[in-house]
Amino acid sequence: MSDSTELDALRTRLETGELADLPDPARILSSETVFDGHIWDVKRERFAFGDGELTREFVAHTGAVAVLALDEQDGVLLINQYRHPIRTRDWELPAGLLDIEGEDPQTAAARELAEETDLAAAEWEPLATFHTTPGGSDELLRVYLARGLSSVEAFDRGEEEAQIVRRWVALDEVVAAVLAGRLSNSILQIAVLTAHARRG
């Protein structure tokens, strides 16, 4: 089958098939780490595409998890912390990297909830999974819904986390703030809008 025939078949599948992302692993011709960072790396890859080749640099990410913690009245636990790349004290969800080799994502989510908010949850449910920046990073982020909250021993937080502010806000109020453009954190936006849509 020629490349043009394969491309036509692919386009037909995308235009008429079930609405879903389509895995399409490219043939990698070369791959190198061009920046070895403290938290993540930058890779440069050359790959076959169509009748030619392309080269792209991207952040090679460990993956991450986030937690939408809800109380009995559908209050959402938000945290606020300083984010230097955007020079903003950002409202967001408890979250963190999958940077412990072999750690289950839900276990990592429970660890992050405890480390950032001094809480544990009795009930866990996957809420959303998405690529945060597919044009520039391979990061896959999983958001979990957590209920049945209880206090755990307080963690000693350092660096930016030392200035975390916690706030409980009604889910409807958070949704309204997202829709009004007052909250720009994409993970928070996706999680609360998904939870709101599922509830309704």
CA distance 38 to 169: 34
Residue 22 phi/psi, 5-degree rounding, is -120, 110
- End-to-end alpha-carbon separation of the chain, Å? 47
Catalytic residue among 6, 103, 116, 161: 161
The encoded tokens of residue 22 equal: 């389509």
The encoded tokens of residue 93 equal: 């969800």
Contacts of 84 (CB under 8 A, 6+ apart): 160
103 as an active site residue: the answer is no
* Closest by Cα among 60, 148, 76, 140 to 110: 148
CA distance 166 to 76: 10
Residue 188 phi/psi, 5-degree rounding, is -60, -45
Q: Could you give the residue numbers annotated as active site?
A: 161
